[in-house]
Amino acid sequence: MKNSRPQITILVANLPAERDRRVIRECLSLEANGFDVTVIAPRGDKALRVLPGSRGTRLRPYPIFVYGHGLISYAVEFAWSFLCIAVRLLGEVLSGRAHAVQVCNPPDVYWPLALLLRALGRPWVFDHHDLCPEVYASRVGTPNKWAFRVLTAFEWLTLRTATEVVATNESFKDNAVRRGVTPERVTVVRNGPTRGEIAEPGGAPDQPNSGGADHRVVYLGVFGPQDNVEGAVLAAEELIRRRGRTGWRMVLAGDGESMPALTRLAVDRGLTDVVEFTGWLDGAAVDELLRAATVAIQPDLPTRMNHLSTMAKTVEYLGRGVPVVAVDLLETRRSVGEAGAYIPTGAPEEFAAVIDELLDDPARRAQMRTVGLARFRESLAWEHQADAYVAVWHRLLAKRLPDGVSAPASPTGETADVASPREGGDALVQRPPSAETEVRATAR
């Protein structure tokens, strides 16, 4: 019997689907609101055919054979991903699925597929995860002007060929509008965990974070050249050597291409007794780590990319009420507000000074904790974002489905432009699978 539910295909090129926490939340929200979902992404766990934790989101993985960090290596890898995604997407279209498509960047190379799918009458949504030209500039320091122009042109084409754009914050929306997308075609859907993800059994969400003799300063996320995790390590040295701080540890959770250099730095500076590297953590371990944290650090430097980006790791901090120490960045301040303590340039001595002050000031930490929890519950939790996200699909598919396929009913019982996932069933607040889900690029 032909499936009568609308089917959405999501394309991901930089992560296996089971490791992309934003994509997992999107899939669960769509399922909870009557959509079927297929994800085409790089292969992670070879045994997976259904997204862990979902009711039936199909995985169509493709193999990755090319690894490296140079420009040529990246170009070959993205060309291979483009070919694999194109072949699998064509299969979905020919089989009668893929009533609509969402593509997640990086990279910004899938606009030719957008032209094809839109010519076939299929809505194409661009989920804008990263500002690729700015990412390139932040990684290389002095960007090649022609490479930067090509990346900017590809971003323009990616934005302009989309039926609608999903932006992770207001700055990304402004960027899309500057590139020529009308504001009505851009919807802001922020990153952030669900309330269920941080409601661990055995631990009350409002329980104060540990302190006293075992203070923990925590970083969660990717260890890449643009993430300045070395700034956190050097701040640890400042705290020990120049400020004489004792009774604390710095826990760096994550991994990435800078990990070897960071571990060498910790060894060379004699910091192995106070700086701990955990590697990737599953969802339950992330929750446990952040609940035990006294202070969290966001070491991103004041680049254009970082000013315009909302760091997913920081919303994770707020969800557990952890005070945040960060450079005074535009979107960071918009998200964190008074739950953060800000420094001007990101120098290690600046981080060390503010961390030192906070470790000695439990009253201020408690106030920051209260503010952070309130901001998360009132606006940043995924449940708030899912409303806007699912509404995009109701709007696009209301009049574009083939015969025999019905648009899902809104919570009011009518096919409408707006859906409320919070009223659509418990599946929305399912935890992304803790054993299979790691904190990777979406924790930037």
Domain locations in the chain? 7-194+381-443, 200-379
Superfamily of domain 200-379: Glycogen Phosphorylase B; (3.40.50.2000)
What pLDDT shows up at residue 210? Answer: 52
The H or E element that residue 287 is part of is: helix 283-291
pLDDT, one tens digit per residue, over 295-310 is: 999 999 999 999 999 9
Per CATH, 7-194+381-443 and 200-379 having the same topology is answered yes
- What letter represents residue 384's amino acid? H
The overall average pLDDT reported for the chain is 86
Domain 7-194+381-443 belongs to what architecture?
A: 3-Layer(aba) Sandwich (3.40)
Tokens 């090509």, residue located: 150
What does the block give as tokens for 345? 């340039």
Between residues 260 and 256, which one has the greater pLDDT?
A: 260
Rounded mean pLDDT of 410-422? 39
Neighbour-count burial for 361-377, b at 16+ CB within 10 Å, e otherwise: eeeebeebbebbbbbbe
Between residues 165 and 241, which one has the greater pLDDT?
A: 165
pTM value > 0.75: yes
Q: Where are the beta strands (DSSP E) in 313-422?
A: 324-327, 340-343
- C-beta separation of 444 from 290 below 8 A: no
pLDDT, one tens digit per residue, over 302-337 is: 999 999 999 989 999 999 999 999 999 999 999 999
Of 48, 8, 45, 6, which Cα lies nearest the Cα of 26?
8
Tokens 């449940």, residue located: 383
pLDDT, one tens digit per residue, over 10-47 is: 999 988 998 888 999 999 999 999 999 999 999 988 88
d(CA 159, CA 156) in angstroms, rounded, equals 5
Tokens 């990777």, residue located: 440
What pLDDT shows up at residue 437? Answer: 39
pLDDT, one tens digit per residue, over 54-94 is: 999 999 999 987 656 666 777 788 889 999 999 999 999 99
What three-state secondary structure class fits 117?
Answer: helix
pLDDT category, 185, cuts 50, 70, 90? very high
What pLDDT shows up at residue 77? Answer: 82
pLDDT, one tens digit per residue, over 105-118 is: 999 999 999 999 99
DSSP assignment string, 164-183: EEEESSHHHHHHHHHTT--G
pLDDT category, 443, cuts 50, 70, 90? very low
What pLDDT shows up at residue 438? Answer: 40
pLDDT, one tens digit per residue, over 203-229 is: 444 455 554 458 999 999 989 888 999
